Amino acid sequence: MTYQRRFALLLILTITAIAGFLFHGKSLQTTWRHIPQAIGLGEHYPSPEEIADGSNILPDLRDSRPSPDDQHLNSKGHADFLPGTTKPAGEKYTRTVVLARSQENTTWLESELSDLFALEEWKHAVYVVDDPRAPFHPPKNKGHEVMVYLSFIIDHYEKLPDLSIFMHAHRFAWHNNELLNTDAAEMLRRLSPERVIREGYMNLRCHWDPGCPDWLHPGALGENLEKQEETLLARSWGELFPLEPIPAVLSQPCCAQFALSRERILALPKSRYVYFRDWLLRSELSDYLSGRVFEYIWHFIFTGRSIVCPAMHACYCDGYGICFGGEKEFDDWFEIRFRMRESETRLSEWMYREKMIEEAKTEGRVEEEAELVVPELGRDVELRKEIKRLQEELDRRKDRALERGQDARNRAVEAGRQWREGDGF
């Protein structure tokens, strides 16, 4: 082969390689830009002016690799679980109740808990998500309560109370604790600061359903329409925890209400919370879905554990001072309540049938009356007696549980932790 031919061949190969590289790079960029929206990436490309003046302050989220300039990303991205140390019995704990509010009425904080907030150690911070003039407000109304929770941590990182309690704005909700009348005010009043300090992170809901014991499977290949968060988490995990493998299971009780100790928050650098909030700000996920992602990872952020499902009876006992004596006794209470509700349902059915027959008689609909099922005579009296008996039994057992919960030793025994004379709750 002549020199000219060898040179021409080398030139062709070089041009081909360069073209292939350029095409491949463009292909990768195109592929990335067309990743489904659910991945949660923002598609913001900084302009030359932003790069020049440094105004593009958000981290580069176009891939899952940590940036060398963001040292906080080189950590695991979550706090390791380390039990906290409580104060000597009788000493006070400072605490701040953090609420995320839009149009909800939060006057219940003052009306129901005025005696607590009159104390120096109790404070509240109500973040109004859609009013930038409010004393507390997040940078953007996105991600439901997530933006508020992260903003409080960032705003108060250097001056945190002993306990930070993160809650929704409404007082009554189905996802509040049933044994506390689904009342947020009662939950706050009875919440044990010692339990929060020891655990570091405490989900305020004791009941497992929904969320435990084996709820989300982020690595699942097929999409579950009832659990859209599975695929969302799988696609977002690498951005939020770039050095952590996707866990096979993510489980904790719902619904994004929890308490944290100061030490547990400080276990992560402030820049980590800034990074989480920046991800939320830039994510293309909707307000609802971006909030749902965090609902299932709060426990991982603050404990490093993918499953945090404490025993329900221990949560109620050690966390709120309602101690039935053990798991069986706890289950027995709910079994009695189940039977009572069955009786209430039967009574409602009896009363409905009686009403239909009375209406048919009054209106002279003889044929229709003949076809109606006649309620058993006297059955309503029996059902009312049964309901009253069961309700009295429930009240008696709950009163005993509340009395038992006043003893610090009973709480320790039921929670399965060591107790020494003089220990507090």
Give me the DSSP letters along 163-175: EEEEEES-SB-TT
Percent of the chain's residues with pLDDT above 90: 61
Q: Which two tokens stand for residue 118?
A: 């009159």
Other CB atoms closer than 10 Å to residue 240's CB: what's the count?
Answer: 22
* Run of H or E including 147: helix 145-156
Distance CA 256, CA 296 (A): 8
The owner of tokens 């239909």 is 356
pLDDT above 70: residue 197: yes
Query: Does 277 score more than 50 pLDDT?
Result: yes
Report the range of poorest mean pLDDT among 68-72, 135-139, 319-323, 397-401. Answer: 68-72
Contact between residue 140 and residue 147 where contact means Cβ atoms under 8 Å apart: yes
Over range 131-140, report the average pLDDT.
92
For the chain, which residues make up each domain, given as ranges? 95-310, 327-415
pLDDT at 259: 98
| Distance between first and last Cα of the chain | 90
For residues 282-288, average pLDDT: 88
Check if the beta carbon of residue 263 is closer than 8 Å to that of residue 66. no
Is the pLDDT confidence value at 304 over 70?
Answer: yes
Q: CA 333, 335, 337, 343: dihedral to nearest 10 degrees? A: -150
Could you tell me the pLDDT band of residue 36, with boundaries at 50, 70 and 90? very low
Tell me: the pLDDT tens digits for 167-178? 999 999 999 999
Task: Tell me the pTM.
Answer: 0.79
Looking at the predicted structure, is the pLDDT value of residue 26 above 60?
no
Is residue 244 within 8 Å of residue 77, measured between CB atoms?
A: yes
pLDDT at 381 > cutoff 70: yes
Q: Give the pLDDT confidence of 390-425 residue by residue, as tens digits.
A: 999 999 999 999 999 999 999 999 999 988 887 888
**Torsion sign (Cα): 168, 172, 175, 178:** positive
